[in-house]
Amino acid sequence: MEQGVDITLKGIHAPDSTWMRNFGKIAEIFQSWWGGRIPQVTATGRTPWRQRWRLLRPAAGRAVFFSGGVDSFHALLILIQQGTPPHALIFVEGFDFDHRDTGRIEAYLPAVRKICAHHRMKLLRVRTNLRRLPFFRESLWPHTHGLAMAGVAHSLRDYGHIYIASSFQERGLQSYGSRWDVDPCFSSATHRFYHVGDEVGRHQKLDLLASDPLVREHLRVCWQDGSGQLNCGVCEKCLRTELSLQLLGVRDQFPGFARKESLEDRLGRLNPDIEAALEMWLVIRGQHLPPAMETALRSLFLRAYEHGEALPADYRGSASILAAMAEFCGYREAIIFQEPPSASMHSRTKAGPE
């Protein structure tokens, strides 16, 4: 849609009516968010009658996408608790980091195998260069990652029930490539997709996961570190997760987040964009913070604003969140987080903590 081209499926079976109907729904949703033209889809192939019986229902196998992060661990354990345990984990090499980065892949594979063995599941190891193809290189990954997962899942003939972990609560980001009303539309006659875990945010997920020994040992949220560690301890995702663990009082139980330098000092070096700062705010709101942590986070939020980046208008009821952040930072008006920075920023609205 971003490139304004139609789609022709050559030399393969014609898509089933469920897939075509859902493709239209996804196209309409994405167009409402990001604009562009809804493409026309044509197929030159036909489905032989001998194979039509296979299109009547999905295969019985259940599989969940798994990266080792908070969302996928939560989805896995929720499915087990609900009595619908997956038969397999889908571990994709080429999504979080380059498929040729064998060092990080091989470093984490023993953990994935251990998790599969513990829960008596099969490991579906998928290696793809999808993100290096022109279409995906020219599009934003937050827009296309859901489609990428759908493409992988549709190649799995024996697994017809596919589970994708939520990234946000139901009333979260209004424009994202995988969310509660998008993922089911990846379904076809042979595969059904389910969105799991959007009832709670990541901080609440960590609270639910913190007692699980496998989570404590193998939680991996970082995609930037190449040193062989689980988590780098300095990027926004690592620091946000570590902040949650500290507020929950369980950080010492997660060896993958053990660092000699204080969390406050590392937060002091982070220069997040405004969306990353808001993710931090969603972790700490309503929490009692030690003075040093409060000072570090207040400074972090102001640095994020100084980037001058605009916040999407549909971001999680942003008006009320921005107002609360502004008050936390000692400002009366949330406007400081919505307008480009100016020389008078600190004198125009600053009132001091009240």
The domains located in the chain, with CATH, are: 1-55 (3.30.429), 57-220 (3.40.50.620), 264-354 (no CATH)
Secondary structure class of 124 (helix, strand, coil): strand
**71 or 322: which leads in pLDDT:** 71
Check residue 308 and give left, alpha or beta (phi > 0: left; psi -120 to 50: alpha): left
Residues constituting the chain: 354
Residue 349 has what DSSP assignment?
A: S
For the chain, give the percent of residues with pLDDT over 90: 55
Distance of alpha carbon 106 from the chain centroid: 22
212 within 8 A of 254, measured Cβ to Cβ: no
pTM of the model: 0.87
Phi, psi of 169 (to 5 degrees): -70, 165
Q: Lowest-pLDDT range, 76-80, 128-132, 293-297, 307-311?
A: 307-311
Closest among 284, 308, 282, 310 to 296, alpha carbons compared: 284
On the question of pLDDT at 3 being above 80, the answer is no
